[in-house]
Amino acid sequence: MTPFGQRLRELRLRKGVTQHEMAKALGVSAAYLSALEHGKRGKPSFDFLQRVAGYFHIIWDEAEELFRVAEASDPRVVVDTSGLTPEYTAFANLLARRIRTLEPKVIEEMTSLLEKAQNRG
Protein backbone atom coordinates (compact mmCIF):
# COMPACT_ATOMS: atom_id res chain seq x y z
CA MET A 1 0.00 0.00 0.00
CA THR A 2 1.22 3.49 -0.78
CA PRO A 3 0.74 6.57 1.42
CA PHE A 4 -1.86 7.82 -1.08
CA GLY A 5 -3.66 4.47 -1.12
CA GLN A 6 -3.84 4.48 2.65
CA ARG A 7 -5.16 8.06 2.73
CA LEU A 8 -7.71 7.33 -0.01
CA ARG A 9 -9.02 4.33 1.91
CA GLU A 10 -9.24 6.37 5.13
CA LEU A 11 -11.23 9.08 3.36
CA ARG A 12 -13.54 6.55 1.74
CA LEU A 13 -14.20 4.70 4.99
CA ARG A 14 -14.74 7.95 6.87
CA LYS A 15 -17.42 8.87 4.34
CA GLY A 16 -18.88 5.37 4.58
CA VAL A 17 -18.92 4.55 0.87
CA THR A 18 -17.84 1.48 -1.04
CA GLN A 19 -15.19 1.47 -3.73
CA HIS A 20 -17.95 0.88 -6.27
CA GLU A 21 -19.95 3.92 -5.11
CA MET A 22 -16.90 6.15 -5.03
CA ALA A 23 -15.66 4.91 -8.40
CA LYS A 24 -19.01 5.66 -10.03
CA ALA A 25 -19.02 9.19 -8.56
CA LEU A 26 -15.46 9.85 -9.77
CA GLY A 27 -15.92 8.31 -13.21
CA VAL A 28 -13.37 5.52 -12.77
CA SER A 29 -13.64 1.78 -12.27
CA ALA A 30 -13.80 0.12 -8.87
CA ALA A 31 -10.80 -1.95 -10.01
CA TYR A 32 -8.79 1.26 -10.47
CA LEU A 33 -9.68 2.48 -6.97
CA SER A 34 -8.77 -0.91 -5.54
CA ALA A 35 -5.43 -0.84 -7.36
CA LEU A 36 -4.74 2.66 -5.98
CA GLU A 37 -5.65 1.63 -2.44
CA HIS A 38 -3.43 -1.46 -2.64
CA GLY A 39 -0.45 0.32 -4.18
CA LYS A 40 -0.66 -1.45 -7.51
CA ARG A 41 -1.03 1.79 -9.47
CA GLY A 42 1.36 4.70 -9.58
CA LYS A 43 0.76 8.31 -8.77
CA PRO A 44 -2.73 9.42 -9.86
CA SER A 45 -3.25 12.27 -12.30
CA PHE A 46 -3.81 15.85 -11.20
CA ASP A 47 -7.33 15.68 -12.63
CA PHE A 48 -8.13 12.60 -10.54
CA LEU A 49 -6.74 14.26 -7.41
CA GLN A 50 -8.97 17.26 -8.00
CA ARG A 51 -12.01 15.00 -8.39
CA VAL A 52 -11.13 13.22 -5.13
CA ALA A 53 -10.74 16.53 -3.31
CA GLY A 54 -14.11 17.67 -4.65
CA TYR A 55 -15.81 14.38 -3.81
CA PHE A 56 -14.67 14.58 -0.19
CA HIS A 57 -15.11 18.37 0.01
CA ILE A 58 -11.43 18.76 0.88
CA ILE A 59 -10.05 22.29 0.82
CA TRP A 60 -6.81 24.14 1.44
CA ASP A 61 -4.41 22.42 3.82
CA GLU A 62 -6.04 19.01 3.63
CA ALA A 63 -6.08 19.14 -0.19
CA GLU A 64 -2.44 20.21 -0.23
CA GLU A 65 -1.59 17.27 2.04
CA LEU A 66 -3.49 14.88 -0.24
CA PHE A 67 -1.53 16.14 -3.26
CA ARG A 68 1.76 15.85 -1.34
CA VAL A 69 0.95 12.28 -0.29
CA ALA A 70 0.10 11.40 -3.89
CA GLU A 71 3.44 12.81 -5.05
CA ALA A 72 5.25 10.47 -2.64
CA SER A 73 3.28 7.39 -3.66
CA ASP A 74 4.83 6.00 -6.80
CA PRO A 75 5.53 2.34 -5.92
CA ARG A 76 8.10 1.97 -8.73
CA VAL A 77 10.76 4.57 -8.15
CA VAL A 78 13.64 5.22 -10.54
CA VAL A 79 16.75 6.77 -9.07
CA ASP A 80 18.97 8.48 -11.63
CA THR A 81 22.56 8.56 -10.40
CA SER A 82 24.12 9.42 -13.76
CA GLY A 83 26.75 12.09 -13.33
CA LEU A 84 27.24 11.30 -9.64
CA THR A 85 30.18 9.54 -8.05
CA PRO A 86 30.18 5.73 -7.81
CA GLU A 87 29.31 5.90 -4.10
CA TYR A 88 25.88 7.36 -4.94
CA THR A 89 25.13 4.61 -7.45
CA ALA A 90 26.27 1.92 -5.02
CA PHE A 91 24.07 3.41 -2.28
CA ALA A 92 21.00 3.54 -4.55
CA ASN A 93 21.52 -0.07 -5.61
CA LEU A 94 22.07 -1.26 -2.05
CA LEU A 95 18.87 0.43 -0.94
CA ALA A 96 16.94 -1.08 -3.87
CA ARG A 97 18.17 -4.59 -2.98
CA ARG A 98 17.54 -4.33 0.76
CA ILE A 99 14.50 -2.09 1.20
CA ARG A 100 12.07 -4.99 1.60
CA THR A 101 14.06 -6.39 4.53
CA LEU A 102 14.48 -3.17 6.51
CA GLU A 103 12.63 -2.85 9.80
CA PRO A 104 10.17 0.05 10.12
CA LYS A 105 12.42 1.63 12.78
CA VAL A 106 15.33 1.71 10.30
CA ILE A 107 13.09 3.34 7.67
CA GLU A 108 12.07 6.00 10.22
CA GLU A 109 15.71 6.66 11.13
CA MET A 110 16.78 6.91 7.49
CA THR A 111 13.86 9.22 6.69
CA SER A 112 14.77 11.47 9.60
CA LEU A 113 18.42 11.54 8.53
CA LEU A 114 17.49 12.44 4.93
CA GLU A 115 15.11 15.19 6.09
CA LYS A 116 17.79 16.67 8.36
CA ALA A 117 20.32 16.60 5.51
CA GLN A 118 17.82 18.33 3.21
CA ASN A 119 17.14 21.05 5.77
CA ARG A 120 20.88 21.76 6.08
CA GLY A 121 21.35 21.98 2.33
Report if residue 13 sits inside a domain.
Answer: yes
Report if residue 101 sits inside a domain.
Answer: yes
What is the arithmetic mean of pLDDT over 57-64? Answer: 90
State the Cα–Cα distance between residues 106 and 63, nearest whole angstrom: 30
What is the arithmetic mean of pLDDT over 103-112? Answer: 96
Max alpha carbon distance in the chain (Å)?
Answer: 51
Closest CA to 53 of 43, 38, 64, 42: 64
Report if residue 35 sits inside a domain.
Answer: yes
Domain count, the chain: 2
Report if residue 49 sits inside a domain.
Answer: yes
This prediction's pTM: 0.72
Whether residue 63 is found in the same domain as residue 8: yes
Whether residue 7 is found in the same domain as residue 48: yes
Whether residue 103 is found in the same domain as residue 65: no
Q: Residue 92 belongs to what domain range?
A: 86-120
Average pLDDT along the chain = 93
pLDDT tens profile 65-88: 999 999 888 878 889 999 999 999
